[in-house]
Amino acid sequence: MTPLNKMAPGQKGKVVGFTDDSAVSRRLMEMGLVPGRSVLYLRNAPLRDPMEIQVGNSCLSLRRAEASLVTVEIDEQ
């Protein structure tokens, strides 16, 4: 398992959980990042922050600090 911010563009993974129970983690869950959900890392902004991911039919832009709170299991292809 790895933090979401360590994924590379084009990688897919599945949300496993969160590193803490902060307000930011709860807000990310409200936005659709719940355990068991698939995520696709789409691309970086020009200076690598924020990063854009796809969760279901939604695209989210997350700061790397926020993405580090999400633990994912990367799909091996």
76 confidence band (pLDDT: 50, 70, 90): confident
Contact 32, 51 (CB under 8 A): no
Whether the pLDDT of residue 1 is over 80: the answer is: yes
Residue 36 is predicted with a pLDDT of 95
Residue 44 is predicted with a pLDDT of 92
pLDDT digits (tens, 9 = 90+) for 36-65: 999 999 999 998 899 999 999 999 999 999
Residue 48 is predicted with a pLDDT of 85
Element (H, E) at 30: helix 23-30
Domains of the chain are: 2-74 (2.30.30.90)
Element (H, E) at 67: helix 64-67
**67 class by beta-carbon count within 10 Å (0-12 exposed, 13-18 middle, 19+ buried):** buried
